[in-house]
Chains A and B, each alone.
Chain A
């Protein structure tokens, strides 16, 4: 993510700004001025003894420092503004996409649930494929919107008591097709009478779906994924364990960063935005829980998250 801090030209290219606006250049500029000022003060103190000269030099120094400060602040402000406009653009574009996507999804649902008589096997297969694609697209748009909202601090969770086992089963059902295609078995391991957890059901299902679909996606042909839930302290811990490709050690601290994709991921799966785990982390943390993982390259990964017991 970080380009060599002192390579100003590379940084300017990376950030898409002019040379003068790169943080490194501003830093160097500021440093140079501070050094010059110190030398100047030293020189003045040594050679002049009059208070007038000292006051004059101080005035000059303050003016220079304030102008530079002002220049830097204006630059930062402008960058913040551009960043905000970018977020707003994504937000508006995604909203505009959501209406036609809802139309497609609901019409297909209407076709498949109420009007499917007369469709032959092939036609049904085609409609189901269209439905899958449309769902994928909807998810992508939702992910983009969620990321903008997280970044702007406007992400919303509707907290309620959630039966976590039920939520997991629902997600597993939705991923069964993907798993069967790769010959992957999904094992469930739930203890009796788990307490309800405090969460937003739709969003928690997104978290589970992200973890499960990652586990399936980054698995070599065949294998197994185990989803386990355990009572722990005052809540529940859910774990998703795979024996897939794992995450290289040197990249493990970046896993929950926006747009993160591990270096070895491309070998198995080319699609993926790198938004899933970033969103998952934010959902879990905003729900008051924790998310973490253990991973060994070529051995597999286990992702965990905890949620508090619901009071109701």
Chain B
């Protein structure tokens, strides 16, 4: 697959997790952008229009639900698939996210980096 690199936005406030995701996904052939809070996430998404957003829920400034709602309301960004990647995983959290338009919901501690990459590729129909 030698087409253009798919572009991912990672919105994650934990520096170590952010770096790990970025390193791994870059090595998987993606181009990555990062944002460390909800507001920065929204701005970067609107500016870069990535192919997919990986979004944490507990974030400073604006939480993941607010980011999700805002991106799904904006004409420019509403078609971007959003994968929630968080350690919250109760029924209410998942329902709320899906209702707001998230494509999938992954619990960080249940997923290896390789599995996250696989989900991204599935969502982008790369595999």
Contact check: which of A98, A149, A154, A155 meets B109 at CB < 8 Å?
Answer: A98
Determine whether the beta carbon of B109 is less than 8 Å from that of A101.
Answer: yes
Residues of B within 8 A of A71 (CB): none
Determine whether the beta carbon of B23 is less than 8 Å from that of A110.
Answer: yes
24 contacting pairs across A/B (C-beta < 8 A): A98-B87, A99-B17, A101-B109, A102-B87, A102-B109, A103-B14, A103-B16, A105-B109, A106-B20, A106-B21, A106-B24, A106-B113, A110-B23, A113-B24, A113-B113, A113-B114, A114-B24, A142-B109, A142-B110, A149-B90, A149-B91, A154-B90, A155-B91, A202-B110
Binding site for B on A (CB under 8 A): 95, 98-99, 101-103, 105-107, 109-110, 113-114, 138, 141-142, 145, 149, 154-156, 158, 202
Residues of A within 8 A of B113 (CB): 106, 109-110, 113
Most A CB atoms within 10 A — which of B17, B89, B90, B109?
A: B109
Residues of A within 8 A of B105 (CB): 158
Residues of B within 8 A of A158 (CB): 94, 105
| CA–CA, A107 and B24, complex, Å | 10
Is B108 in the interface zone, CB < 8 Å from A? yes
| CA–CA, A141 and B107, complex, Å | 13
* Chain B min CB distance to A274 (Å): 22
Is B92 in the interface zone, CB < 8 Å from A? yes
Residues of B within 8 A of A101 (CB): 109
* Chain A min CB distance to B59 (Å): 13
Residues of A within 8 A of B89 (CB): 145, 156
Determine whether the beta carbon of A138 is less than 8 Å from that of B27.
Answer: no
Chain A residue with Cβ nearest B28? A114
| CA–CA, A137 and B122, complex, Å | 29
| CA–CA, A110 and B116, complex, Å | 13
Determine whether the beta carbon of B14 is less than 8 Å from that of A114.
Answer: no
Determine whether the beta carbon of B112 is less than 8 Å from that of A107.
Answer: no
Chain A residue with Cβ nearest B98? A158
Question: Helix, strand, loop or mixed for chain B's interface?
Answer: helix
Contact check: which of B14, B94, B108 meets A156 at CB < 8 Å?
Answer: B94
Residues of A within 8 A of B14 (CB): 99, 103
Determine whether the beta carbon of A102 is less than 8 Å from that of B17.
Answer: yes
Closest 8 CB pairs of A and B: A98-B87, A106-B20, A156-B91, A102-B108, A154-B90, A103-B16, A154-B91, A98-B109
Chain B residue with Cβ nearest A107? B20
Chain B residue with Cβ nearest A148? B90
Return the CB mask of B90-127 against A: 1 if under 8 Å, else 0.
11101000000000010011101110000000000000
Residues of A within 8 A of B27 (CB): 114
Residues of A within 8 A of B112 (CB): 105-106, 109
Chain B residue with Cβ nearest A156? B91
Residues of A within 8 A of B23 (CB): 110, 114
Given contacts A98-B108, A141-B109, contact A103 B20 (CB under 8 A): yes
Is B40 in the interface zone, CB < 8 Å from A? no
Is B35 in the interface zone, CB < 8 Å from A? no
* Chain A min CB distance to B85 (Å): 10
| CA–CA, A234 and B23, complex, Å | 45
| CA–CA, A170 and B11, complex, Å | 31
Residues of B within 8 A of A102 (CB): 17, 87, 108-109
Is B88 in the interface zone, CB < 8 Å from A? yes
Chain A residue with Cβ nearest B110? A202
Return the CB mask of B9-23 against A: 1 if under 8 Å, else 0.
000001011001101
Residues of B within 8 A of A141 (CB): 109
